[in-house]
Structure 1
Amino acid sequence: MPPKPLTNPRKNASQERSRATVDALVEATARILVRDGFDKASTNRIAAEAGVSIGSLYQYYPGKEALVAAVIDRHNQDIMQVVRRAFAEVALQPVEKAARRLIAVAIEAHRIDPKLHRVLAEQIPRTGRLENVEAFNREAHALFKSYLESHSDELRVRDPGLAAFVCVTSIEALAHTAVLHNSEKLSDKAAEALIDEAARLVIGYLK
């Protein structure tokens, strides 16, 4: 059995110059993944794309799997920041308005870079990042549950934890499947229609 690839960085960048190097490497990895795919990515190509020496790359990352893992982590962090802001924004809004806004944000987050999202979804098992995805889902469920608990007087459902699981899973499945298999549904007009139908689904369930 071949050894499991190393997916953690060798060290963290602490100074501005080293952070710039790491950023360049992660961004170059993302571009190559979208353009050429995982199999054609290599540390030499990534270093050249980033304008960084191969020695500098190996100072921070043991191999391309670690760089792909870094891209996955950054992509998930970017999406989670959008999600957190959305929940803060809708905290006091009624269910109908909040649900539509949260669905729109989920779909918009998946539209940020759909080609990259598709590639990363394929690489998550290879890089051992399933645990990070599960943590992302747990936080989304907790945020949705908290919202539902504070608006319980508007709801038909009586178990906010179960309702949060149903809603978040449904919304994520719709957005994720659109990115992976039905990218035409992410165009402006089609995305608006998808938001309308998903909102009808979620609001009908909750109320």
Structure 2
Amino acid sequence: MSTRIGKSGAPMRKEPSQARSRATVDAILEAGARILGDRGWAGFTTNAVAAVAGISIGSLYQYFPDKLSLVEAIRRRHFDDVLAVMRKAMAGDLPLQQRAEALVEGMIDAHNINPELHRVLLDEAPGYDGSRLAHDAFLAEYQGHYRDFVAAHRSGRKGPGDDVLAQLLSGAVEGVIHSAARKRTLGSPELKQELARMICSYLRNAD
């Protein structure tokens, strides 16, 4: 399990305002994600990230004061990727089966970009106290999408409320996805099929 380090404030020293600086930050985050996935937290250094990104260490420190701040920015980008998946899966008026398949496909894609990175973020990289507000905002929107999903597709209105069903469903999907990321089985067609089947079965029997 990862630890939590007491530090407050935003992870970045300054936000990029021009296209060139945004490209630099993107290169830093991509290099950081690659190194963190390949070497783990113990082998993660800002010097290595700067070298892979093709910039000077001084340029990196213009945006990220230390490696903990850089890891937090990588983690927040992951939040953004997951929320983009949820927004796409909830868009339009799809039947349950198609929406469940879209959700599963998107969640697997978001975690399959760099499975080792997700394992390190889950199990090794320290947390960051200053990220609590960002994490809370992520969870609020994330759970809101699941709640809308449940409300649109549950079979009846008896039994537990939408919030409870959404919490249970999101926890089940997360558990399967994160376990598969650790075991490197995210590419399994059977996993996708059975996870979508589980979602549909759960909501069709939620009464």
Pick the TM interval, shorter chain.
0.7 to 0.9
Distance 1:124 1:132 in 2: 17
Q: Which TM-score applies when normalising by structure 2?
A: 0.81
> 1:68 Cα shift?
0.9
The reply to whether residue 175 of structure 1 matches residue 177 of structure 2 is yes
Q: What's the CA shift for 1:164?
A: 1.4
Offset at 1:157?
4.1
Cα distance in 2 for residues equivalent to 1:60 and 1:103: 34
Q: 1:54 to 1:88 in 2, by over 3 A?
A: same
Would you say the 8 A contact 2:97–2:200 is kept in 1?
Answer: no
Q: Flag the structure with more relative contact order, 1 or 2, with Cα contacts below 8 A and sequence separation at least 6.
A: 2
1:50 Cα deviation after fit? 0.9
Mapping of residues 60-139 of structure 1, within 5 Å: 60-89=63-92, 92-123=93-124, 125-128=126-129, 129=131, 131-139=133-141
After superposition, the Cα gap between the structure-2 partners of 1:157 and 1:132, relative to the gap in structure 1 and judged at 3 Å, is farther
Which consecutive residues of structure 1, in runs of 5 or more, have no partner in the other structure? none
CA RMSD of aligned residues (A): 2.6
For 1:114-133, what per-residue CA distance to the aligned partner results, in whole angstroms no more than 9, with x for missing partners? Answer: 11111122356433445544
2:58 to 55, 59, 75: 55
Could you tell me whether the CA contact under 8 Å between 2:86 and 2:145 is conserved in 1?
no
Q: Structure 1 stretches (4+) deviating beyond 4 angstroms? A: 3-7
Per-residue deviation, 1:53? 0.9
Aligned to 2:31: 28
Name the aligned partner's letter for residue 183 of structure 1.
R
Q: Answer yes or no: is the 8 Å Cα contact 1:34–1:119 preserved in 2.
A: yes
**Structure 1 position 35, deviation (Å):** 1.4
Give the C-alpha shift of residue 46 in structure 1. Answer: 1.2
**Deviations, residues 30-79 of structure 1 (Å, cap 9, x unaligned):** 11111111222212111111111111111111111111111111121012
Partner of 1:37: 40
Paired position in structure 2 for 1:12: 15
* Number of residue equivalences: 200
TM-superposition CA deviations, 1:68-97 (whole Å, max 9, x none): 1111111210121011110114xx334454
The whole-number CA distance in structure 2 between the counterparts of 1:126 and 1:160 is 30
* Partner deviation per Cα, 1:135-171 (whole Å, 9 max, x = no partner): 333222212222333456x325441122112211221
Q: Does residue 161 of structure 1 match 2:179?
A: no
What is the TM-score normalised by the length of structure 1?
0.81
Give the superposition deviation at 1:13: 0.5
Percent sequence identity over aligned pairs: 34
Bigger proportion of residues as helix: 1
Unaligned regions of 5+ residues in structure 2, if any?
none
Taking a change above 3 Å as real, the CA distance of residues 193 and 61 of structure 1, as seen in their structure-2 partners, is same
